[in-house]
Structure 1
Protein backbone atom coordinates (compact mmCIF):
# COMPACT_ATOMS: atom_id res chain seq x y z
CA UNK A 1 0.00 0.00 0.00
CA UNK A 2 1.45 3.35 -1.06
CA UNK A 3 2.00 5.81 1.78
CA UNK A 4 0.81 9.40 1.32
CA UNK A 5 2.62 12.20 3.17
CA UNK A 6 -0.14 14.25 4.80
CA UNK A 7 1.81 16.41 7.28
CA UNK A 8 5.33 17.43 8.27
CA UNK A 9 6.53 18.09 11.79
CA UNK A 10 8.72 21.10 12.47
CA UNK A 11 10.82 22.24 15.39
CA UNK A 12 10.04 21.88 19.06
CA UNK A 13 7.93 24.66 20.62
CA UNK A 14 7.76 25.32 24.35
CA UNK A 15 8.66 23.03 27.23
CA UNK A 16 5.97 20.32 27.07
CA UNK A 17 6.78 18.51 23.81
CA UNK A 18 4.72 20.59 21.39
CA UNK A 19 5.94 20.98 17.83
CA UNK A 20 5.29 23.04 14.73
CA UNK A 21 2.82 21.30 12.43
CA UNK A 22 2.55 21.69 8.65
CA UNK A 23 -0.59 20.19 7.11
CA UNK A 24 0.17 18.94 3.59
CA UNK A 25 -3.37 17.71 2.95
CA UNK A 26 -6.68 19.28 1.98
CA UNK A 27 -8.37 17.67 4.98
CA UNK A 28 -7.43 19.34 8.26
CA UNK A 29 -10.40 17.61 9.94
CA UNK A 30 -8.45 14.33 9.98
CA UNK A 31 -6.04 15.77 12.56
CA UNK A 32 -8.02 15.41 15.79
CA UNK A 33 -7.17 14.47 19.35
CA UNK A 34 -6.83 10.69 19.61
CA UNK A 35 -6.15 10.16 15.88
CA UNK A 36 -3.12 7.98 15.13
CA UNK A 37 -0.79 8.17 12.15
CA UNK A 38 2.23 6.32 10.88
CA UNK A 39 5.39 8.43 10.68
CA UNK A 40 9.03 8.06 9.71
CA UNK A 41 9.67 7.51 13.43
CA UNK A 42 6.84 5.08 14.28
CA UNK A 43 3.17 5.41 15.15
CA UNK A 44 2.11 8.72 16.71
CA UNK A 45 -1.17 9.58 18.43
CA UNK A 46 -2.33 13.19 18.68
CA UNK A 47 -2.79 14.38 22.26
CA UNK A 48 -3.47 18.03 21.37
CA UNK A 49 -3.55 20.13 18.22
CA UNK A 50 -3.90 23.89 17.78
CA UNK A 51 -4.45 24.75 14.09
CA UNK A 52 -4.49 28.51 14.81
CA UNK A 53 -0.99 28.36 16.31
CA UNK A 54 0.17 25.60 13.97
CA UNK A 55 1.25 23.32 16.83
CA UNK A 56 0.71 19.69 17.73
CA UNK A 57 1.54 17.45 20.70
CA UNK A 58 1.69 13.67 20.64
CA UNK A 59 0.99 11.17 23.40
CA UNK A 60 4.27 10.29 25.17
CA UNK A 61 6.21 13.26 23.77
CA UNK A 62 6.56 15.43 26.87
CA UNK A 63 9.85 17.31 26.61
CA UNK A 64 11.60 19.48 24.03
CA UNK A 65 14.23 16.72 23.72
CA UNK A 66 11.55 14.14 22.86
CA UNK A 67 10.01 16.51 20.32
CA UNK A 68 13.37 17.27 18.69
CA UNK A 69 13.69 13.57 17.78
CA UNK A 70 10.59 14.03 15.57
CA UNK A 71 11.73 17.23 13.82
CA UNK A 72 11.20 16.99 10.05
CA UNK A 73 9.32 13.69 10.33
CA UNK A 74 6.31 13.13 8.08
CA UNK A 75 2.89 11.76 9.01
CA UNK A 76 1.40 9.31 6.53
CA UNK A 77 -1.93 7.89 5.49
CA UNK A 78 -2.64 5.47 2.67
CA UNK A 79 -5.03 5.54 -0.27
CA UNK A 80 -7.56 3.13 1.23
CA UNK A 81 -7.67 4.85 4.62
CA UNK A 82 -8.05 8.25 2.94
CA UNK A 83 -10.96 7.06 0.79
CA UNK A 84 -12.70 5.49 3.80
CA UNK A 85 -12.29 8.42 6.18
CA UNK A 86 -12.61 11.46 3.95
CA UNK A 87 -15.67 12.35 1.92
CA UNK A 88 -15.23 14.26 -1.30
CA UNK A 89 -17.85 16.40 -3.01
CA UNK A 90 -18.84 16.01 -6.66
CA UNK A 91 -15.94 17.02 -8.91
CA UNK A 92 -13.33 16.67 -6.14
CA UNK A 93 -10.50 14.14 -6.36
CA UNK A 94 -7.62 12.87 -4.29
CA UNK A 95 -4.27 13.89 -5.73
CA UNK A 96 -3.22 10.24 -5.91
CA UNK A 97 -6.19 9.62 -8.23
CA UNK A 98 -5.11 12.41 -10.60
CA UNK A 99 -1.34 11.78 -10.77
CA UNK A 100 -0.62 9.41 -13.64
CA UNK A 101 -3.72 10.24 -15.70
CA UNK A 102 -3.34 10.91 -19.42
CA UNK A 103 -4.16 14.37 -20.80
CA UNK A 104 -6.15 14.63 -24.04
CA UNK A 105 -7.38 17.61 -26.04
CA UNK A 106 -9.52 17.02 -29.14
CA UNK A 107 -8.45 13.31 -29.11
CA UNK A 108 -4.75 14.33 -29.17
CA UNK A 109 -2.58 12.84 -26.43
CA UNK A 110 -0.65 15.71 -24.82
CA UNK A 111 1.03 13.88 -21.94
CA UNK A 112 0.67 12.45 -18.46
CA UNK A 113 0.10 14.14 -15.09
CA UNK A 114 3.43 13.89 -13.27
CA UNK A 115 2.63 15.92 -10.15
CA UNK A 116 0.33 18.60 -8.77
CA UNK A 117 1.66 22.01 -7.77
CA UNK A 118 -0.29 24.02 -5.21
CA UNK A 119 -0.30 27.74 -5.96
CA UNK A 120 -2.26 30.48 -4.14
CA UNK A 121 -4.94 30.90 -6.82
CA UNK A 122 -5.30 27.31 -8.03
CA UNK A 123 -3.75 23.87 -8.20
CA UNK A 124 -1.73 23.18 -11.34
CA UNK A 125 -1.11 19.86 -13.04
CA UNK A 126 2.53 19.30 -13.94
CA UNK A 127 2.18 17.48 -17.24
CA UNK A 128 5.02 15.45 -18.73
CA UNK A 129 4.69 16.14 -22.44
CA UNK A 130 4.11 13.22 -24.85
CA UNK A 131 7.36 12.03 -26.50
CA UNK A 132 6.14 12.75 -30.05
CA UNK A 133 5.41 16.37 -29.07
CA UNK A 134 8.85 16.73 -27.47
CA UNK A 135 10.36 15.59 -30.79
CA UNK A 136 8.54 18.56 -32.38
CA UNK A 137 10.61 20.83 -30.08
CA UNK A 138 7.83 21.45 -27.56
CA UNK A 139 8.77 21.64 -23.83
CA UNK A 140 9.32 18.42 -21.88
CA UNK A 141 6.68 19.50 -19.36
CA UNK A 142 4.14 22.26 -18.73
CA UNK A 143 1.77 23.50 -16.04
CA UNK A 144 -1.98 23.32 -16.60
CA UNK A 145 -4.49 24.95 -14.20
CA UNK A 146 -6.74 22.32 -12.62
CA UNK A 147 -9.82 24.51 -12.99
CA UNK A 148 -12.48 25.69 -15.43
CA UNK A 149 -12.31 26.28 -18.37
CA UNK A 150 -9.23 24.06 -18.84
CA UNK A 151 -10.57 20.83 -17.31
CA UNK A 152 -13.48 19.48 -19.35
CA UNK A 153 -13.81 15.95 -17.91
CA UNK A 154 -11.99 13.69 -15.47
CA UNK A 155 -12.55 9.97 -16.08
CA UNK A 156 -10.86 7.88 -13.40
CA UNK A 157 -11.99 4.58 -14.99
CA UNK A 158 -10.41 5.43 -18.37
CA UNK A 159 -7.45 7.09 -16.56
CA UNK A 160 -7.76 10.29 -18.61
CA UNK A 161 -8.50 13.99 -18.34
CA UNK A 162 -10.06 15.80 -21.28
CA UNK A 163 -8.91 19.41 -21.44
CA UNK A 164 -9.39 22.61 -23.44
CA UNK A 165 -6.71 25.21 -24.14
CA UNK A 166 -3.84 23.01 -22.95
CA UNK A 167 -2.20 22.78 -26.38
CA UNK A 168 -1.97 26.60 -26.44
CA UNK A 169 -0.37 26.59 -22.98
CA UNK A 170 2.09 23.88 -24.06
CA UNK A 171 3.08 25.82 -27.19
CA UNK A 172 3.50 29.04 -25.20
CA UNK A 173 5.64 27.36 -22.51
Structure 2
Protein backbone atom coordinates (compact mmCIF):
# COMPACT_ATOMS: atom_id res chain seq x y z
CA UNK A 1 0.00 0.00 0.00
CA UNK A 2 1.24 3.50 -0.84
CA UNK A 3 1.04 6.30 1.73
CA UNK A 4 1.59 10.05 1.43
CA UNK A 5 2.82 12.39 4.14
CA UNK A 6 0.30 14.84 5.61
CA UNK A 7 2.07 15.92 8.78
CA UNK A 8 4.57 15.34 11.55
CA UNK A 9 3.73 15.12 15.23
CA UNK A 10 6.05 17.59 16.93
CA UNK A 11 4.68 17.60 20.48
CA UNK A 12 1.74 17.03 22.77
CA UNK A 13 -0.76 19.79 23.53
CA UNK A 14 -2.21 19.85 27.03
CA UNK A 15 -3.17 16.78 29.05
CA UNK A 16 -6.21 15.54 27.10
CA UNK A 17 -4.39 13.54 24.41
CA UNK A 18 -4.10 16.31 21.83
CA UNK A 19 -1.08 16.36 19.53
CA UNK A 20 0.63 19.30 17.88
CA UNK A 21 1.06 18.52 14.17
CA UNK A 22 3.17 20.38 11.63
CA UNK A 23 1.09 19.93 8.49
CA UNK A 24 2.61 19.30 5.05
CA UNK A 25 -0.64 19.24 3.09
CA UNK A 26 -2.73 21.87 1.34
CA UNK A 27 -5.84 20.03 2.49
CA UNK A 28 -5.67 20.28 6.29
CA UNK A 29 -9.43 20.64 6.77
CA UNK A 30 -10.05 17.48 4.78
CA UNK A 31 -7.12 15.45 6.13
CA UNK A 32 -7.84 16.22 9.78
CA UNK A 33 -11.64 16.31 9.71
CA UNK A 34 -13.48 14.22 12.27
CA UNK A 35 -13.56 10.48 11.39
CA UNK A 36 -10.72 10.76 8.84
CA UNK A 37 -8.41 7.76 8.99
CA UNK A 38 -4.67 8.38 8.92
CA UNK A 39 -1.72 6.04 9.29
CA UNK A 40 0.87 6.59 11.99
CA UNK A 41 4.53 5.91 11.09
CA UNK A 42 7.53 6.03 13.44
CA UNK A 43 10.69 8.08 12.83
CA UNK A 44 12.18 5.17 10.83
CA UNK A 45 9.10 5.14 8.56
CA UNK A 46 7.70 1.91 10.00
CA UNK A 47 3.92 1.60 10.06
CA UNK A 48 2.51 1.64 13.61
CA UNK A 49 -1.28 1.75 13.24
CA UNK A 50 -4.25 3.53 11.73
CA UNK A 51 -5.79 6.33 13.78
CA UNK A 52 -9.18 8.01 13.46
CA UNK A 53 -9.42 11.76 13.98
CA UNK A 54 -11.69 12.65 16.91
CA UNK A 55 -11.13 16.41 16.75
CA UNK A 56 -9.05 19.06 15.01
CA UNK A 57 -8.36 22.75 15.51
CA UNK A 58 -5.76 25.29 14.46
CA UNK A 59 -3.43 26.90 16.99
CA UNK A 60 -0.77 29.33 15.77
CA UNK A 61 1.16 27.52 12.99
CA UNK A 62 0.08 24.05 14.10
CA UNK A 63 -2.83 21.70 13.68
CA UNK A 64 -4.00 20.32 17.01
CA UNK A 65 -5.34 16.80 16.49
CA UNK A 66 -6.91 14.31 18.86
CA UNK A 67 -7.41 10.66 17.92
CA UNK A 68 -10.25 8.34 18.88
CA UNK A 69 -9.32 6.14 21.84
CA UNK A 70 -6.25 8.23 22.78
CA UNK A 71 -7.60 10.66 25.36
CA UNK A 72 -4.70 11.30 27.73
CA UNK A 73 -1.18 12.66 27.39
CA UNK A 74 0.18 9.28 28.53
CA UNK A 75 -1.54 7.62 25.54
CA UNK A 76 0.05 9.92 22.94
CA UNK A 77 3.41 11.09 24.28
CA UNK A 78 5.19 8.13 22.66
CA UNK A 79 4.10 9.36 19.20
CA UNK A 80 6.15 12.58 19.27
CA UNK A 81 8.33 12.61 16.16
CA UNK A 82 6.04 10.27 14.24
CA UNK A 83 4.58 11.02 10.82
CA UNK A 84 0.94 11.03 9.79
CA UNK A 85 0.18 9.70 6.32
CA UNK A 86 -2.85 9.06 4.17
CA UNK A 87 -3.34 5.89 2.16
CA UNK A 88 -3.47 6.40 -1.59
CA UNK A 89 -7.00 4.99 -1.83
CA UNK A 90 -8.22 7.71 0.56
CA UNK A 91 -7.06 10.56 -1.70
CA UNK A 92 -9.87 12.49 -3.34
CA UNK A 93 -9.99 13.63 -6.96
CA UNK A 94 -8.87 17.21 -7.51
CA UNK A 95 -10.15 19.89 -9.85
CA UNK A 96 -8.27 20.76 -13.03
CA UNK A 97 -5.14 22.74 -12.23
CA UNK A 98 -4.87 21.28 -8.71
CA UNK A 99 -2.20 18.75 -7.82
CA UNK A 100 -1.01 16.72 -4.88
CA UNK A 101 2.55 17.45 -3.80
CA UNK A 102 3.67 13.92 -4.62
CA UNK A 103 2.53 14.49 -8.22
CA UNK A 104 4.67 17.64 -8.60
CA UNK A 105 7.82 16.63 -6.74
CA UNK A 106 10.19 14.94 -9.18
CA UNK A 107 8.78 16.53 -12.36
CA UNK A 108 11.19 18.09 -14.86
CA UNK A 109 10.93 21.86 -15.33
CA UNK A 110 11.44 23.31 -18.81
CA UNK A 111 11.56 26.78 -20.32
CA UNK A 112 10.86 26.06 -23.97
CA UNK A 113 13.12 23.13 -24.87
CA UNK A 114 15.67 23.93 -22.16
CA UNK A 115 15.66 21.70 -19.08
CA UNK A 116 15.99 23.91 -16.00
CA UNK A 117 15.90 21.19 -13.36
CA UNK A 118 13.61 19.06 -11.26
CA UNK A 119 11.12 19.98 -8.51
CA UNK A 120 12.55 18.68 -5.23
CA UNK A 121 10.37 20.39 -2.63
CA UNK A 122 7.30 22.60 -2.22
CA UNK A 123 7.25 25.50 0.24
CA UNK A 124 4.17 27.31 1.58
CA UNK A 125 5.39 30.78 2.57
CA UNK A 126 2.07 32.58 2.19
CA UNK A 127 -0.09 33.64 -0.74
CA UNK A 128 1.13 30.94 -3.13
CA UNK A 129 3.25 27.81 -3.11
CA UNK A 130 6.90 28.03 -4.11
CA UNK A 131 8.45 25.09 -5.93
CA UNK A 132 12.13 24.46 -5.21
CA UNK A 133 13.84 23.37 -8.44
CA UNK A 134 17.15 21.50 -8.17
CA UNK A 135 19.55 22.51 -10.95
CA UNK A 136 22.86 21.02 -12.05
CA UNK A 137 25.82 23.21 -11.17
CA UNK A 138 23.65 26.07 -9.86
CA UNK A 139 21.81 27.05 -6.71
CA UNK A 140 18.24 25.82 -6.34
CA UNK A 141 15.67 27.97 -8.13
CA UNK A 142 12.65 29.20 -6.15
CA UNK A 143 9.73 29.12 -8.56
CA UNK A 144 6.44 30.74 -7.48
CA UNK A 145 3.36 28.74 -8.50
CA UNK A 146 1.57 31.61 -10.24
CA UNK A 147 0.04 31.74 -13.75
CA UNK A 148 2.58 34.08 -15.40
CA UNK A 149 5.42 31.73 -14.37
CA UNK A 150 3.95 28.20 -14.48
CA UNK A 151 2.41 27.83 -17.93
CA UNK A 152 1.57 24.12 -17.99
CA UNK A 153 1.81 21.08 -15.74
CA UNK A 154 1.64 17.69 -17.45
CA UNK A 155 1.89 15.08 -14.70
CA UNK A 156 1.54 12.16 -17.13
CA UNK A 157 4.46 13.42 -19.24
CA UNK A 158 6.50 14.36 -16.14
CA UNK A 159 6.92 17.91 -17.43
CA UNK A 160 6.30 21.45 -16.21
CA UNK A 161 6.51 24.34 -18.68
CA UNK A 162 7.53 27.71 -17.22
CA UNK A 163 8.47 31.20 -18.27
CA UNK A 164 11.08 32.70 -15.98
CA UNK A 165 10.23 36.32 -15.27
CA UNK A 166 13.07 38.79 -15.01
CA UNK A 167 14.73 38.56 -11.60
CA UNK A 168 13.62 35.00 -10.79
CA UNK A 169 16.92 33.43 -11.78
CA UNK A 170 19.65 35.30 -9.93
CA UNK A 171 22.39 33.29 -11.67
CA UNK A 172 21.72 34.58 -15.19
Superposition TM-score, scaled by structure 2 size: 0.80
Instruction: Tell me whether 1:42 sits opposite 2:39 in the alignment.
Output: no
Query: What is the match of residue 45 of structure 2?
Result: none
After TM superposition, give the deviation of residue 87 of structure 1 in Å.
Answer: 3.5
The alpha-carbon deviation at position 62 of structure 1 amounts to 2.4
Shift in Å, 1:167: 8.4
TM-score (norm 1): 0.80
Structure 1 residue runs without a partner (length 5+): none
* Structure number having the greater helix percentage: 1
Query: Which residue of structure 1 lines up, in the alignment, with residue 4 of structure 2?
Result: 4
How much has 1:47 moved relative to structure 2? 2.1
Deviation at 1:39, TM superposition (A): 0.6
Cα distance in 2 for residues equivalent to 1:89 and 1:57: 29
CA RMSD of aligned residues (A): 2.4
Counting only pairs closer than 5 Å after superposition, residues 161-172 of structure 1 correspond to structure 2 as 161-165=160-164, 169-172=168-171
Larger Rg: 1
User: Size of the alignment, in residue pairs?
Assistant: 163
- Report the counterpart of residue 15 of structure 2 in structure 1: 15
- Structure 2, unpaired ranges of 5+: 42-47
Quote how far apart the aligned CAs of 1:171 are: 4.6
